[in-house]
Chain A
Amino acid sequence: MVRYQRKVYSVAFGYLRNQEDALDVVQEAFIKVHRYLAKFEGNSSFYTWLYRIVTNLCIDHLRKSKRHRALEFDDKLRHESKSGETLGTHHRPLSAMGDPASVLQRQEILDAVQDGLQYLSDKHRAVIIMRELQGMSYAEMATTMGCSKGTIMSRLFHARRNMQKILTEKLEYQPSASNKEPAEKSKKPMKSAEAVMP
């Protein structure tokens, strides 16, 4: 269980954006796992099971804390991004900044990710974490959030677009010595990005 502690923390922090809240959830999740371990069968889905417990705890926590500010911001973003715009063409594509492996070492990228998650609404942040970090299927996400798969698809679509927009805005004015490409539309995918695609 110890080896899962940081992964579980990263999920909880993704949802809650607060170190102590995230640690509280990690603690509560491990207590629940110990209590209900007898009901768990097999090791193949233990990770999934653990993640579901963490997710439910985080969602409960968010419901209790009722953070409305981020929700308003998210609505504004949603209205501004028009359908038909592509992530890769309207703004300077992040994948054009260079080799992702080295790009993602840069602190400004990591900070921008945290800022982006911070600005998303609870629901948008939840679908981003569930999909990008936990690898949950749309069906699992729908069950967890008590909505339809269609709603999940829509939320995820808009959440990613909003996240992309925030990241681009945060990084737009960050001069990068390693980035020698002009800030223009890129119509070709980055081959190095493909190589590191999950």
Chain B
Amino acid sequence: MNPVSDNENLHAYFDGELQDEERKAVEAMLTEDAEATLAELSFLRQAISVGLEAEAEKIPEARFEQLWDEVERTLERDARLQQAADSDVSLWSRVGAFFKPLLAPTAALAGVAAAAVIYIGSGESEPAENTPVSVASKDEPAQAAADETMPLAPPQDDRIAAHVEADEMPSNSEAEIQRIEFGGKTGRIDRIESKQGITTVIWIDDEDETLDSERAL
């Protein structure tokens, strides 16, 4: 290595970013000018640190108290919103859930009445049968979800290479979590806004330790 007075390598040496061999090589070739550069870098670092700390000292304590009050207000609002989100999903879901039990009897009753009227109106002699119009129905997805024993599809060759293109992602891939249980532990649902759009993250609290208050740190 040629002796240098100031270059990127010298700065990396100053920052402790060189590997052992490189560092020794630089040390062996240090010139007086290079050492002067190192002294300047040291001074500059101190000046920046002291300068910005002095700026921070100018802020009165009361201003930070005000800031902490706002932090607490925001966190309390978060907690209230989280509680509201946890209790129910949406107005339409609630309306739908409320009326869902009434759909089957309503359909059956209407069907019976319609059939009876049509039958009687046709003048046939047979008595109106109290037979509901057959209405196709399907197992509720919610009931299927409650089924803990999920019969599996036949095993597949499931290993793939990760050829995932970020461009293929939809602009809004935020997941709508409709039901969640954390297996006895706690967890949290978060969202990330990034260039790939909005991504939902389900965080599982997989720790046994409890955390101390953050103010105590």
Partners in one complex: yes
CA distance A2 to B17 in the complex (A): 32
Q: Which of A14, A43, A163, A188 contacts B36 (CB 8 A)?
A: A188
CA distance A167 to B5 in the complex (A): 20
Interface size class on chain A is: 35 or more
Main secondary structure of the interface of A (DSSP, over half): helix
CA distance A14 to B55 in the complex (A): 9
Most buried by B among A4, A104, A189, A194: A189
Q: Does residue A147 face the partner (Cβ distance < 8 Å to B)?
A: no
Contact with B along A1-22 (1 / 0, CB 8 A): 1111111011101100001000
Main secondary structure of the interface of B (DSSP, over half): helix
Residues of chain B from 6 to 62 with CB closer than 8 A to chain A in the complex: 6-8, 11-12, 15, 17, 32-57, 59
Q: Does residue B86 face the partner (Cβ distance < 8 Å to A)?
A: no
| Contact stretch, chosen from B71-79, B93-101, B144-152 | B71-79
Contact B43 A157 (CB under 8 A): no
Minimal Cβ-Cβ distance residue in A for B187: A38
CA distance A83 to B8 in the complex (A): 10
Contact with A along B193-213 (1 / 0, CB 8 A): 000000000010101000100
A89 contacts across to B, CB distance below 8 A: 5, 33, 36
Q: Which of B59, B71, B75 contacts A19 (CB 8 A)?
A: B59
CA distance A35 to B7 in the complex (A): 43
Query: Given that A31-B71, A46-B217, A163-B44 are contacting pairs, would A13 and B55 also be in contact in the complex, using a CB cutoff of 8 Å?
Result: yes
Contact A128 B48 (CB under 8 A): yes
Contact with B along A158-170 (1 / 0, CB 8 A): 0011011001000
Contact with B along A101-128 (1 / 0, CB 8 A): 0001000011001100100000000001
Minimal Cβ-Cβ distance residue in B for A14: B52
Contact A132 B70 (CB under 8 A): no
Contact A1 B214 (CB under 8 A): yes
19 contacts between A and B (CB under 8 A): A6-B57, A7-B56, A9-B55, A9-B59, A19-B59, A26-B67, A30-B67, A86-B6, A86-B34, A88-B37, A89-B33, A89-B36, A113-B47, A117-B48, A132-B44, A153-B12, A156-B8, A156-B15, A189-B32
